[in-house]
Amino acid sequence: MNSKLKGKHFLTCEDWSKEELDLVFETSFDLKDKFKKEIPTRILPDKTLFMIFFEQSTRTRNSMEAGMTQLGGHAHDLTEDKMQLSHGESAKDTAIILSRMGHGIASRNCFYGIGRKYLQEMAKYSTRPVMSLQDDVYHPFQGIADLMTIFEYFGKNTKNLKVTISWAYADTHSKPLSVPQSQILLFPRYGIDVTVAHPKEFPLNKNIVNKAFENAKVGGGSLRFTNDMDEAFEGAQIVIPKNWGGFGYYDVDEYLKNESECKKEMKSNLEKYKDWICDDHRIKLADRNVKLMHALPADRGHEVTNEIIDDPNISIVYDEAENRLHTAKAIMSLTM
């Protein structure tokens, strides 16, 4: 594929113009159509992608690896124990070496105050495109898959579409801020009216929020916040109930210095809000044709009830998950 985006890093959608993102969506829809028709798309024959995972993954790992296979290339699935990372090898050295051996590097590193910096360091020294598979600030692949799904159900003119992103209770682990932050940055650029609901102890990063307000002004969308989940659901056409940790409540340096104490406080705060769940009561507050989205895995019975997430008239989470494949293939095709 002859692309003007070849070699461009994909660390956040913020680094990509709307025109560039429109090309991503155009390519994603084309690749999805060809996938459905079983038309081969060997756009990256014999090319190699190195994937470095510091955390577990289902959709991200498989969308990238399957995507590379379908594009005619190969993906190396790397983890800390398979590399010299466990012995302290730097991001710089890793990036220089891998970019000389292959054609792209993708990494997931969600450690708070660390992940984003690690990916930026790799991008600084890599001669090949570096792609963020999620860090502590951004999850760009999830953001574009979400927006592609919205286009499928609501059309590409999303002006004044009402989307609610709500914190929800979960007891599995302290999830990164990166998914909701990527959504509030991206959606308003396409004219979407976004409402964010969260308890006061679980805010998003202030700098990200400020940038999201700027994006809304330019893109014609809007952004508002509330500490009332019911209020946020009223009239919403799309609801995205998802847990995220209370990292935004702390300064990064404060958190890294007192990580153990901060985690204890987050856990204590978490237990106050077990009633923050997407259930039949709340879904009835939304638009009669409301759709449910979620990046998955959902903490069933905590973030959302089985009744709602398994309702085929409401839930579009599996379409959303499938679109991780097609958008991943689009990014790789355009940059590698």
Mean pLDDT to the nearest integer, 170-180: 90
Q: What mean pLDDT do residues 135-153 have?
A: 98
* Percentage of the chain lying above the pLDDT 90 cut: 91
3.40.50.1370, 3.10.180.10, 3.30.70.380, 3.40.640.10: which CATH number matches 142-321?
Answer: 3.40.50.1370
62-78 mean pLDDT: 96
User: pLDDT digits over 210-264, tens only?
Assistant: 999 999 999 999 999 999 999 999 999 999 999 999 999 998 988 999 999 999 9
Cα 280 to Cα 301: distance, rounded to the nearest angstrom: 12
pLDDT value of residue 86 = 57
With bands split at pLDDT 50, 70 and 90, how would you rate the model's confidence at 172? Answer: confident
- Per-residue model confidence (pLDDT) at position 78: 87
* Residue carrying the six token digits 């969260």: 198
Check residue 322 and give its pLDDT: 98
pLDDT attached to residue 57: 84
| Distance separating alpha carbons of residues 297 and 165, to the nearest angstrom | 16
Lowest mean pLDDT among 23-27, 88-92, 181-185, 324-328: 88-92
Span between the terminal Cα atoms of the chain, in Å: 9
Whether 278 and 241 have beta carbons less than 8 Å apart is answered as yes
Extents of the domains making up the chain: 13-139+324-335, 142-321
Please determine, for residue 83, whether its predicted confidence score (pLDDT) is greater than 70. no
Q: Which pLDDT score is estimated for 81?
A: 72
Task: Please state, rounded to an integer, the average pLDDT across all residues of the chain.
Answer: 95
Instruction: Answer whether 13-139+324-335 and 142-321 agree in fold.
Output: yes
Which residue in 91, 158, 149 sits closest to 120, CA to CA? 91
13-139+324-335 folds as: Rossmann fold (3.40.50)
What integer is the mean pLDDT of 328-335?
98
Answer for the pair 278, 292: CB distance below 8 angstroms, yes or no. yes
Given this model, what pLDDT does residue 206 score?
96
Is 193 exposed, middle or buried, given 0-12, 13-18 or 19+ CB atoms closer than 10 A?
buried
For residue 79, the model assigns a pLDDT of 76
| Torsion angles phi and psi, residue 320, rounded to 5 | -60, -45
Summarised one tens digit per residue, pLDDT across range 180-214 is 999 999 999 999 999 999 999 999 999 999 999 99
Q: What are phi and psi of 83, to 5 degrees?
A: -130, 180
What is the average per-residue pLDDT within 39-58? 94
pLDDT of residue 84 exceeding 70, the answer is no
pLDDT at site 87: 58
Q: How far apart are CA 52 and CA 56, in angstroms?
A: 11
| pLDDT tens digits, one per residue of 16-26 | 999 999 999 99
What does the pLDDT look like over 268-312, one tens digit per residue? 999 999 999 999 999 999 999 999 999 999 999 999 999 999 999
What 3-state DSSP class applies to 93?
A: helix
How far apart CA 46 and CA 305 sit, in angstroms, is 44
The pLDDT of residue 3 is above 90: no
